[in-house]
């Protein structure tokens, strides 16, 4: 069985106390979907905010707020180009082979998978490792690390890949719906802009319903 999941690269959560988060380390992966607990949703929001918590001084942006919560969320709420490290993870449960996104890949780059189906027929997803997806006829060939000659490979029909990619979009939309409810409870003063920013970071349509301020 082939399983495809949108995954978010995690950061270390030790010492974080602005809202409840799960204990996790850096450079792991958290699958996103509609079955996450409130704590897991909070962990995902924390990791996305941390990914965009960069020094914006000198870029003509307002100074960060002095309160800890506003300061932590400042990058997420003010940056034009948001980034959510991660991508799509593919697992062959029969063989145990796992293709994970490489370094510097973002969840917004999942659209590149469509090039394998309908475009040039190939796409890569970060480095160290360097995952590669290629179309050969009606089959998608997924190489775990193209830099290794003996890299494990996953193969599946193009029709299955198209279906799995559509499922991943539904998973991300389901996660965002959870995040809307989470934000209303845990960051009520920032709920509306946080949910809008999360949609942008994940390259999702702007939500039709946002939490009330």
pLDDT digits (tens, 9 = 90+) for 176-190: 999 999 999 999 999
pLDDT recorded at residue 163 = 98
Closest CA to 31 of 91, 115, 117: 91
Return mean pLDDT, the chain. 94
Range 15-26 average pLDDT: 96
- What the block records as the tokens of 183 is 């934000």
pLDDT band at residue 62 using 50, 70 and 90 as cut-offs: confident
pLDDT recorded at residue 212 = 59
pLDDT digits (tens, 9 = 90+) for 93-145: 999 999 999 999 999 999 999 999 999 899 999 999 999 999 999 999 999 99
Cα–Cα dist 145/127, whole Å: 8
Residue-range domain boundaries for the chain: 2-84+169-201, 105-165
């Amino acid at each position: 069985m082939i399983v495809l999941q949108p995954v978010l690269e995690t950061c270390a959560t030790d010492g974080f106390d602005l809202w409840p988060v799960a204990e996790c380390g850096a450079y792991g992966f958290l699958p996103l979907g509609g079955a996450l607990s409130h704590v897991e949703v909070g962990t995902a929001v924390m990791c996305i905010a941390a990914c965009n918590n960069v020094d914006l001084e000198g870029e003509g942006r307002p100074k960060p707020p002095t309160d800890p919560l506003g300061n932590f969320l400042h990058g997420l709420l003010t940056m034009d180009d948001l980034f959510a490290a991660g991508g799509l993870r593919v697992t062959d449960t029969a063989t145990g082979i796992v293709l994970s996104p490489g370094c510097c890949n973002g969840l917004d780059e999942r659209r590149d998978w469509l090039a394998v189906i309908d475009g040039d027929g190939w796409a890569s997803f970060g480095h160290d490792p360097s995952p590669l997806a290629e179309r050969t006829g009606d089959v998608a060939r997924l190489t775990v690390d193209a830099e290794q000659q003996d890299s494990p490979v996953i193969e599946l029909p193009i029709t299955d890949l198209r279906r799995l990619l559509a499922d991943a979009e539904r998973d991300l939309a389901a996660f965002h719906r959870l995040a809307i409810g989470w934000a209303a409870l845990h960051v009520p003063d920032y709920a509306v802009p946080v949910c809008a920013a999360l949609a942008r970071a994940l390259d999702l349509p702007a939500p039709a319903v946002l939490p009330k301020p």
